């Protein structure tokens, strides 16, 4: 047994010398938003993306105007359900942040989306202002008419037999014609 003691340092050096050097992964993932629209969005919007990494993607996360929403997906194909009903009508910059299994992150190119909860009567943006188009065709049988005036505001007119009356500003109308 004493004859083996001089061999222990040699065996230790052989064992220590055979260990593979661990190379840290510093390559960030890639992420691209694949969702596209020419229209405004409202309600629940499904935003899709593609993310890849040399070691593996852990998750992707939705960010709106530089703030994390806490909405994540950790399974391909990646899709994130953005509930826009908690946001005011307006313009928002979204990005998708991808996290790889080594802790590296990267953000997608930003995408601007217009949240517009009133979408049933046309409209869009002109000089940064949201407008709505309403066409009155046969209004004889209508009890009230809602017309959007500005972002988040409408004027409701009531029909009283002699014409329109009782105009009021409301926040919940959507350019809807009520028979």
pLDDT of 62 over the 50 cut: yes
SS (H, E, C) 8-55: HHHHHHHHHHCCCCCCCCCCCCEEEECCCCCCCECCEEEEEEEEECCC
Mean pLDDT, the chain, integer:
74
Q: What is the pLDDT of residues 95-151, one digit of tens each?
A: 999 999 999 999 999 999 998 875 444 444 444 444 444 444 445 555 545 444 444
* Structural domain spans, the chain: 30-115, 124-178
pLDDT of 161 over the 70 cut: no
pLDDT band at 68 (very low <50, low <70, confident <90, very high): very high
pLDDT band at 12 (very low <50, low <70, confident <90, very high): low
Q: Are 137 and 144 in contact (CB under 8 A)?
A: no
Q: What fold is seen in the domain 30-115? A: Immunoglobulin-like (2.60.40)
pLDDT of 64 over the 80 cut: yes
Taking the model in full, what pTM does it have? Answer: 0.59
pLDDT score of 39: 82
Name the phi and psi angles at 79, rounded to 5. -145, 140
pLDDT score of 11: 60
pLDDT of 20 over the 80 cut: no
pLDDT score of 93: 96
pLDDT score of 38: 82
pLDDT of 36 over the 80 cut: yes
């Amino acid at each position: 047994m004493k004859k083996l003691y001089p061999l222990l340092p040699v065996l230790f050096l052989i064992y220590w010398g055979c260990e593979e050097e661990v190379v840290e992964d510093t390559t960030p993932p890639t992420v691209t938003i694949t969702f596209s629209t020419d229209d405004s969005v409202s309600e629940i919007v499904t935003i899709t993306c593609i993310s890849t990494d040399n070691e593996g993607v852990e998750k992707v996360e939705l960010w709106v105007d530089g703030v994390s929403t806490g909405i994540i997906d950790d399974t391909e194909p990646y899709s994130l359900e953005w509930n826009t009903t908690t946001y005011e009508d307006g313009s928002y910059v979204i990005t998708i942040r991808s996290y790889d299994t080594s802790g590296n992150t990267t953000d997608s190119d930003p995408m601007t989306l217009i949240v517009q909860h009133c979408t049933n009567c046309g409209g869009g943006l002109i000089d940064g202002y949201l407008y709505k188009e309403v066409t009155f065709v046969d209004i004889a049988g209508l009890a009230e008419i809602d017309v959007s005036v500005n972002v988040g505001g409408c004027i409701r007119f009531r029909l009283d037999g002699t014409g329109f009356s009782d105009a009021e500003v409301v926040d919940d109308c959507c350019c809807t014609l009520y028979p």
